[in-house]
Amino acid sequence: MVLEKEIPVFVDWIGGASLDWVIAVAIFAVVAMAVSLLFAIVTRGPIRGVAGVGKAFLATFADVFTMSPRRIAALVWLAVKEAIRKKVVVGVAVFVVVLMLAGWFLDPSSTNPGRLYLSFVMTATSYLVLLLALFLSVFSLPGDMKSKTLHTVVTKPVRHSEIVLGRIIGFTLVCTVLLAIMGVLSYFFVVRGLYHEHTLTAADLAPAGGEASAGEAEVPLVGMTSKEHGHRHEVYVDPSGATRTRYENGHTHAVTIEGSGDQVRYRVGKPEGVLVARVPIHGKLRFRDIKGIDKEQGINVGDEWFYRSYIQGGTDAAAIWTFTDLKESDFPGDRIPLEMTLGVFRTHKGEITREVMGGLALRNPDTGLTVEIEIFESKEFITQKLWIPKQIVKYSNRQMIVQKYETPGGVKTKPTEADLDDSLAKKTEFDLFKDLVTPDGRVEVWLQCLEPGQHFGAAQPDLYLRAGDASVVWNFVKGYYGIWLQVVIVTSFGVMFSTFLSGAVAMVATIGILIAGFFTDHLMELGVGPKYGGGPLESFRRLIGQDNVMTDLPAGLGTDLVKMGDQLLQPTLRIMSAILPPFDEFGCANFVANGFNIPADFVLTRTFTALAFFIPLFVIGYLFLRNREVAR
């Protein structure tokens, strides 16, 4: 799973984020107060202007902080009834039709059917619910003003803040109910679409090593299951009777044996592993170059996407993950599962009948003992599952390796060559937690490409230890909670814009804000400093002139003006990136579809981020509604 931004720890994040939010809100409030005061003084004179602004400030404070829950509940129910009158429940019928048609086009025989089905249902749900939230929020207040309904409401003992808050909560409540219904339908659609059964008979199996001789114990059996959902599973039946199918298309099946002799029956269970919620343990990634010196990044093979760095095959180059705080009690059993997803860059075809070979090794950071435990064939962008045995008796190589790193005083080593104990590498068997994991729980996992001329690409989330699995159902719920947070943002912006714009204009403004919210990181990069192709004006100049982004623009007055304009735009871009909602960060479909548990830190940070946008949008919407003529 691609994870370009590291998920912050909530307790470390909330302090700084809260301070930034308070500062931003305070600056906005001071600017708004200064502009209002200046306008009032110009139009009404100094004394009356200052008095009017002070009175308006006190009225705003009273309206926002003395709202009645009973009146808000009544206005919420009014918004719900309005949504029902507009027949928003038709959205559920549309969703059911979409699911019925999707069964014809989704291919359960794909290499990862779980990801395919989950991505589809979450994307379809997100688009449909967000469209409903958009249309409900932007057309409600303008429609009431046009039909004079709001004129009647404001004559009642109802505060303007209660009208705005009632609309936001009411429309969000309607979308919440629809989202819950779609979520239940989606889950059963996914489970039903992925469920299948294979059959296995005695005729499908044959002895793995030939027929058993007289007096010899029963030999293992191998064979293939029936073909279902476009695939088969290889089966290895152990003489003890306990077995399961080989991992295929993202899942496996348990196989139980009933009876014996001519009455033996093989029962293949339901698919296991197609829907999971992995709880990964990530390490800190660094790279080792061909000279054996540690670097923060690997080499660039010309890819425009800098997510992965590459290591050169057939050299000392390696991608190294350092894991900390590992305890043997956290990993029951005699093996630790390790999963990885690699990028592969070939400079030549190599042996076309097989994939590029790689090696996986473990290293003790304190002693330098390094044991190569696995030689494998790479599978590009497909999750490979390997096992780290706690008792290592089979290995490809073992040696003592020092860590080399650059300092202002030159290249240093850790441990030093003099501190190496070569006798550690002469053992014939290694205990993982005694020989390779340090007393404080640190161990390094080394990935190397073994073939010259080929390269492996890796990012920090690409390799992890799998501590266990969380609840799939609960993870599915958290995924839909991410969609709900997006609904809150859309509804808040829609209602806010509708307090002073017409419905169509409010819709365009809301869509524009949300589209811009998908590019907040890009705006921040443009605002911080130069990028390939320059800033907005320089990029536009290159686009018109069809100039390469890697070449310098010709010297001259025009180029100087363009670069100066980009520098003047940088503060504006930084402000925009700070105040726009990072809309893409609220989505959790990437976690759910790829089978990863959504961390609690992710849920908490996104919840408070949504709340940080909801509060000022509600206040701004109230201020605009209060100053409209119809609301006076």
Residue 553, both tokens: 């623009």
pLDDT of residue 204: 86
Average pLDDT for 436-445 = 95
Instruction: Say if residue 435 is in the same domain as residue 488.
Output: no
Shared-domain flag, residues 187 and 261:
no
pLDDT of 447-503, one tens digit each?
A: 999 999 999 999 999 999 988 789 999 999 999 999 999 999 999 999 999 998 998
Mean pLDDT score, 503-529: 86
Considering the domain boundaries, does residue 580 fall inside one? Answer: no
Cα separation, 102 vs 520, whole angstroms: 33
In this prediction, residue 151 carries a pLDDT of: 59
Residue 10's alpha-carbon distances to 13, 18, 487, 599, in angstroms, are 5, 11, 22, 10
Angle between the N-to-C axes of helices 600-626 and 46-65, in degrees from 0 to 180, rounded to the nearest 10 = 130
Residue 462 CA to residue 381 CA, distance in Å, equals 9
pLDDT of residue 559 exceeding 90: no
The answer to whether residue 531 scores a pLDDT higher than 70 is no
| 3-state DSSP assignment of residue 399 | strand
209-227 b/e (C-beta count within 10 Å ≥ 16 → b): eeeeeeeeeebebbbebee
Residue 131: inside a domain, yes or no?
A: yes
Residue 503 lies in a domain: yes
**What is the per-residue pLDDT for 214?**
44
Q: Which residues contact 433 (CB under 8 A, 6 or more apart)?
A: 326, 328, 390
- Please tell me whether residues 314 and 384 are part of one structural domain: yes
Pair (216, 300) in one structural domain: no
> What average pLDDT does the segment 20-45 reach?
85
Q: Among residues 222, 248, 272, which one ends one of the domains?
A: 272
Give the residue-averaged pLDDT of 606-610: 94
Listed range (39-53, 173-187, 335-349, 434-448) with the worst mean pLDDT: 39-53
pLDDT, average across residues 587-597: 90
- Residue 190's pLDDT band (boundaries 50, 70, 90)? very high
Q: Which of 222, 430, 458, 204 is nearest to 321 (CA)?
A: 458
What is the distance between the alpha carbons of residues 619 and 614, in angstroms, rounded to a whole number? 9
Tell me which residue has tokens 């408070």.
Answer: 608
What's the mean pLDDT in 523-538?
76
Residues β-bridged to residue 549:
none
One domain, residues 337 and 299: yes
Kindly state whether residue 562 falls inside one of the protein's structural domains: no
Q: In what order do the strands lie in the sheet with 265-272?
A: 243-244, 252-258, 265-272
Which of 442, 469, 496 terminates a domain? The answer is: 469
Residue 371 confidence (pLDDT) above 90: yes
Q: Which residues contact 522 (CB under 8 A, 6 or more apart)?
A: none
Residue 462 covered by a domain: yes
Contacts of 220 (CB under 8 A, 6+ apart): 207, 208, 209, 236, 237, 238, 239
Pairing of strands 443-449, 430-431: unpaired
Average pLDDT estimate for 92-112: 85
Give the 3-state DSSP-derived string for 5-64, with helices as H, strands as E and coil as C.
CCCCCHHHHHHHHHHHHHHHHHHHHHHHHHHHHHHHHHHHCHHHHHHHHHHHHHHHHHHH
How does residue 303 score in pLDDT terms, banded at 50, 70 and 90? confident
> pLDDT confidence of 606, banded at 50, 70, 90?
very high
107 and 178 both lie in a single domain: yes
The DSSP string of 557-619 is: HHHHHHHHHHHHHHHHHHHHHHHS--GGGG--HHHHHTTBPPPHHHHHHHHHHHHHHHHHHHH
**Rg of the Cα atoms in the chain:** 31
Average pLDDT of the chain, as a whole number: 87
- What is residue 486's predicted lDDT score, i.e. its pLDDT? 94
- For residue 436, what pLDDT is reported? 95
Tell me, what's the pLDDT at 210? 55
284-320: b (≥16 Cβ within 10 Å) or e: ebbbbbeebebeeebbeeeeeeeebbbbbbebebbbb
In this predicted structure, the answer to whether residue 421 has a pLDDT above a threshold of 60 is yes
Same domain for 29 and 123: yes
- Specify the amino acid at residue 305: W
> Is the pLDDT reported for residue 313 higher than 90?
yes
Distance (Å, whole) CA 100 – CA 329: 47
Measure the CA–CA gap between 443 and 364, rounded to whole angstroms. 6
Which residues have a Cβ under 8 Å from the Cβ of 408 and sit 6 or more positions away? none
| Mean of pLDDT values over 403-428 | 89
| Cα 517 from Cα 498, distance rounded (Å) | 19
- Would you state the pLDDT for residue 630? 52
The answer to whether position 530 is within a domain reads no
Count CA atoms closer than 13 A to 587's CA, side-chain side. 18
Percent with pLDDT over 70 in the chain: 94
Pairing mode of beta strands 252-258, 410-414: unpaired
> What per-residue confidence (pLDDT) applies to 216?
45
Sheet architecture: strand order including 205-207: 205-207, 221-224, 234-237
Question: CA 197, CA 302: separation in Å to the nearest integer?
Answer: 45
* Pair (486, 600) in one structural domain: yes
Could you give the CA distance from residue 356 to residue 444 in angstroms, rounded to a whole number? Answer: 23
Structural contact between residues 465 and 387, judged by C-beta atoms closer than 8 angstroms:
no
Here the CATH number for the domain that contains residue 453 is 2.60.120
Q: Which residue(s) pair with 200 in the sheet?
A: 266
Q: Taking the model in full, what pTM does it have?
A: 0.88
Total number of domains in the chain: 3
For residue 166, the enclosing domain spans: 10-194+476-525+587-631
3-state SS record for 319-373: EEEEECCCCHHHCCCCEEEEEECEEEEECCCCCCCCCCEEEEEEECCCCCEEEEE
- Which amino acid is residue 9, in one-letter code? V
In sequence order, the β-bridge partners of residue 271 are 253
CB 382, CB 341: distance < 8 Å: yes
Give the number of other Cβ atoms within 10 Å of residue 201's Cβ. 12
53-57, 129-133, 303-307, 514-518: which is most confident: 129-133
Q: Are the C-beta atoms of residues 464 and 109 closer than 8 Å to each other?
A: no
Answer yes or no: do 508 and 624 share one domain.
yes
Q: Is the preceding peptide bond at 439 cis, omega within 30 degrees of 0?
A: no
Sequence letter at residue 592: V
Interval 215-255: pLDDT, tens:
444 678 888 999 988 888 888 887 766 688 888 887 888 88
**Pairing assessment for the beta strands 410-414 and 335-340 based on DSSP bridges:** unpaired
155: pLDDT confidence band, cut at 50, 70 and 90?
A: low
Evaluate whether residue 555 is within a structural domain.
no
Residues 165 and 246 in one domain: no
Domain shared by 189 and 266, yes or no: no
User: Where a domain ends, among 252, 272, 292?
Assistant: 272
Position 632 pLDDT exceeds 50: no
Q: Are 200 and 226 in contact (CB under 8 A)?
A: yes
pLDDT reading at 111 higher than 50? yes
pLDDT band with cut points at 50, 70 and 90 for residue 213: very low
- How far apart, in whole angstroms, are the C-alpha atoms of residue 583 and residue 490? 10
Strand partners, 458: 309
Q: Do both 491 and 429 map to the same domain?
A: no
Tell which phi-psi region holds residue 399, choosing left (phi > 0), alpha (psi between -120 and 50) or beta.
beta
User: Does residue 291 lie within any of the structural domains?
Assistant: yes
Among 28, 22, 66, which Cα is nearest to 620's?
Answer: 28
